[in-house]
Amino acid sequence: EAQVTQNPRYLITVTGKKLTVTCSQNMNHEYMSWYRQDPGLGLRQIYYSMNVEVTDKGDVPEGYKVSRKEKRNFPLILESPSPNQTSLYFCASSLLGNGADTQYFGPGTRLTVL
Amino acid sequence: GQQLNQSPQSMFIQEGEDVSMNCTSSSIFNTWLWYKQDPGEGPVLLIALYKAGELTSNGRLTAQFGITRKDSFLNISASIPSDVGIYFCAGQPLTNYGGSQGNLIFGKGTKLSVKP
């Protein structure tokens, strides 16, 4: 089944403790992206990647890192999480390298930073 | 940064009524997309628009890419209870050389409630 998977789905952590949220897609998509969703703010793009080893900042990249060493995986790294990074995070992927086609979203990761 | 203004923020309608929502931007967008998000799920693409003036339908949904490339609307005809959810517009800004940027900007969403 074609899908985007994220792990973990739920995470409660403490300020400053490094964490990684994994994202994987099995559709051989070139474009992958991370978003955060907050009440009243909609979805905001954190980082995106048009292909392996190519990553770019979205609207809200501060406090996050990403890597794209393989086509299928696009992990989101929080080196030193802070409470303002408490949010619902979505990973997405699309076939083309410019994201203009259908983006498939993962199920979301709800992160709480205490 | 670039922003999309989506309205209305929320709508409460009776089953069978038509619905209209729109998005506007101060800058030109190359692509307009409309997504729906059900509770506890990720957004799902409903309609994608790639050309100014384009009008596209998907069942009871119709969306248009504005001629100025700065706006788009989504209409839902004869609403049913399963239309409940949050609808997002999204767009890809134009680059200086006329292509699409890689980033995607989302509106803040329209929450739709349908009374049976």
B110 touches chain A (CB under 8 A): no
Residues A59, A67, B109: CA angle, nearest 5 degrees: 30
Name residue B85's amino acid: G
**Cβ count near B79 (within 10 Å):** 20
**What local confidence, expressed as pLDDT, does residue A103 receive?**
82
Phi and psi at residue B35, in whole multiples of 5°?
-120, 155
**What local confidence, expressed as pLDDT, does residue B99 receive?**
56
List pLDDT tens digits, range B50-65.
889 999 999 999 999 9
A47 touches chain B (CB under 8 A): no
Q: Where are the beta strands (DSSP E) in B17-94?
A: 19-25, 29-37, 44-49, 55-58, 61-65, 71-76, 85-93
* Omega within 30 of 0 (cis) for the link into B8: yes
Count of H helices and E strands in chain A? 0, 11
Q: Scan residues 20-79 of B and list those with Cβ closer than 8 Å to A.
A: 30-31, 33, 40-45, 48, 50
CB pairs under 8 A between A and B: 65
What is the overall mean pLDDT for chain B? 90
A100 touches chain B (CB under 8 A): yes
List pLDDT tens digits, range B84-116.
999 999 988 776 555 556 678 899 999 999 998
**Cβ count near B64 (within 10 Å):** 20
The residues pairing with B90 across neighbouring beta strands, listed in sequence order, are B33, B106
pLDDT, tens digit only, all 114 positions of chain A? 779 999 999 999 999 999 999 999 999 999 999 999 998 888 999 999 988 999 999 889 999 999 999 999 999 999 999 999 999 999 999 887 554 677 889 999 999 999
**What local confidence, expressed as pLDDT, does residue B27 receive?**
86
Token pair recorded at residue A65: 């890192």
**Cβ count near A18 (within 10 Å):** 10
**What local confidence, expressed as pLDDT, does residue B92 receive?**
81
B104 CB-near residues (< 8 Å, 6+ apart): A33, A45, A48, A99, A103, B33, B90, B91, B92
A64 touches chain B (CB under 8 A): no
| B96 compared with B15, residue with greater pLDDT | B15
A86 touches chain B (CB under 8 A): no
**The three-state (H, E, C) secondary structure of A62-92, written as one string:** CCCEECCCCCCECCEEECCCCHHHCEEEEEE
Mutate: best of B104, B105, B108, partner A, most A CBs <10 A: B104
Q: Specify the 3-state DSSP secondary structure of B96.
A: coil
**What local confidence, expressed as pLDDT, does residue A84 receive?**
96
List pLDDT tens digits, range B24-39.
998 888 889 999 999 8
User: Minimal Cα distance from A48: which residue of B?
Assistant: B103
Q: Specify the 3-state DSSP secondary structure of B95.
A: coil
**Cβ count near A60 (within 10 Å):** 19
